[in-house]
Amino acid sequence: MKDLMRVNLSEEFKAKYTKLLGDRADNLFKAIETESQNSFRLNPLKNNYQNVQYSLDKPIDYSKIGYFGDIDGNSIDHISGYVYSQEPSAMYVAEVVNPKADEKILDLCAAPGSKTTYLASIMDSQGLLVSNEINNKRARVLSSNVERMGIKNAVVINNSPKDLEDGFEGYFDRILVDAPCSGEGMFRKDPDSVQYWSPEYVEQCANRQKHILDSAFKMLKDGGTLVYSTCTFSPEENEENIAEFVKRHQEMEIVPIKKYPGMEDGRPEWGYDNQDLKKALRMFPDQFEGEGHFICKMIKSGIAGTTKVRTFRNQPTKVEMSYLDKFIKQNLSEIDLTAIFKVKEDLYQAATFDTRFKKLHVLRNGLKLGELKKNRFEPSISWMLELKPNDLKSVYELDDDQFAKYLHGESVMIDQDFSNKWIGLSYQGKLFSWGRYSNKQIKNVYPKGLRK
């Protein structure tokens, strides 16, 4: 039996949905007062990725990698990017986007990154994922989640959709607009958010979404796919917005989404009677084990031409490359590193060299390998989170006590010798950090911001 919580829905909210849903509205209000189901995802980018400490007995049938259950943010599975907490309904969005190898994908409203990291997990490091977030603080959280999950084919940028429009016209094969919304579908997860709700707020959100959708339209290739999603119930932000969008842009056609038990059709009567809206998808928590969500998939007519790409390259000097080569020779087994470039003193393996990105506020372009120091190269945690045990010359498996100490920022004494200096540290078989070995001691290099 699930617990009941107090979510103070306003009379105005209740009246609106009673008018829209009739007798069913009471079931919805009750569901909003019922505790939500937690769930998490695995990350196929990791070595032996199903080896987690959490039960996989309750798979989510519409997700290849989702499971019902709770995870702990301090567990090794979370720290090393083997799991990501995401509520069930939100998981389906990335499956609906369905990215294909070698496509260019834009996640336009991406922070904190639950859908971006899902998309990357199923892209298997193929193609290009551009993860954009307008808010700087949130963009930095997005970037750290991309790092934790060991993603190397993503560019994390911090721009407004308008900033992107000009340079990226007709550029993307698929765009996800997971729009900022009034969040009605999340009230039970975040009961405090109820206080911000008002009809005016819903209108404001709908208006902002229109502009974001229009930007997305410009950036979508002919023949490309646009997925629009919100976590709110309001018709203004969902059916109404989409009906107006496809009217403004007649090249856009709403296409069907596979519906699993509990998922419902979109409602034409809430969107100027556009019957295609039945192909959209709604998840209401009184019928579906997840939060409230709306998803609509659309295709732009036409056949894509080729996109001209001019490339840039900030190559490290020969001497700088020699520091990286030396590091690799000493500490890694044979690995194939291409597309190395330099940003200030950092070396990256680029996700893209397209000059269009030069005008943007880029937080991360591909995989950060590490930093050039005086006469040497020092590796970054991002790289470790992407590497597999076989890529490393030395891996040391910490015991419970050593792991707790290391995570806390302490060095650990070990009873083992290594001939090289930079070793992979693992706990319960999961790589999570570099360690600097010297004389039976592993010096702590765990980033201060991640220590626990």
Ligand X SMILES: C[S@@+](CC[C@H](N)C(=O)[O-])C[C@H]1O[C@@H](n2cnc3c(N)ncnc32)[C@H](O)[C@@H]1O
Please state the residue numbers annotated as binding site for S-adenosyl-L-methionine.
Answer: 109-115, 133, 178
Q: How far is CA 150 from the centre of its chain?
A: 12
Name the segment binding ligand X (CB under 6 A); options: 27-35, 103-111, 164-172, 294-302.
103-111
**Site membership for ligand X, residue 421 (CB under 6 A):** no
Burial label, 29 (beta-carbon count in 10 A; 0-12, 13-18, 19+): middle
In whole angstroms, what is the distance from residue 152 CA to residue 316 CA?
A: 19
Q: How far is CA 200 from the centre of its chain?
A: 30
- Binding residues for ligand X, total number by CB under 6 A: 17
**Site membership for ligand X, residue 184 (CB under 6 A):** no
**Site membership for ligand X, residue 216 (CB under 6 A):** no
Which amino acid, one-letter code, is at 430?
A: K
Instruction: Report residue 399 as tokens.
Output: 């015991």
Residue with tokens 């090249």: 251
Judge whether 181 counts as a catalytic residue: no
Provide the phi-psi class of 98: left if phi over 0, else alpha when psi is between -120 and 50, else beta: left
- Residue closer to ligand X (CB basis): 79 or 231: 231
Name the segment binding ligand X (CB under 6 A); options: 66-74, 106-114, 198-206, 336-344.
106-114
Using alpha carbons, list the distances in angstroms from residue 311 to 176, 217, 339, 352, 353.
Answer: 25, 25, 12, 8, 5
Q: How far is the CB of 181 from ligand X (least distance, A)?
A: 6
Residue in 181, 205, 231, 296 annotated catalytic: 231
- Using CB positions, name the residue nearest to ligand X: 109
According to DSSP, the residues that pair with 84 across neighbouring strands are 41
Among 95, 178, 184, 291, binds ligand X (CB under 6 A): 178
**Site membership for ligand X, residue 151 (CB under 6 A):** no
Name the segment binding ligand X (CB under 6 A); options: 39-47, 110-118, 308-316, 423-431.
110-118
Using alpha carbons, list the distances in angstroms from residue 258 to 99, 262, 346.
Answer: 16, 12, 44
Known binding residues are: 109-115, 133, 178
Q: How far is the CB of 228 from ligand X (least distance, A)?
A: 12
Q: How far is the CB of 231 from ligand X (least distance, A)?
A: 6
In whole angstroms, what is the distance from residue 193 CA to residue 113 CA?
A: 20
Interacting residue ranges for ligand X, rule: CB under 6 A: 109-115, 133-135, 138, 160-161, 178, 180, 208, 212
Question: Annotated active-site positions, please?
Answer: 231
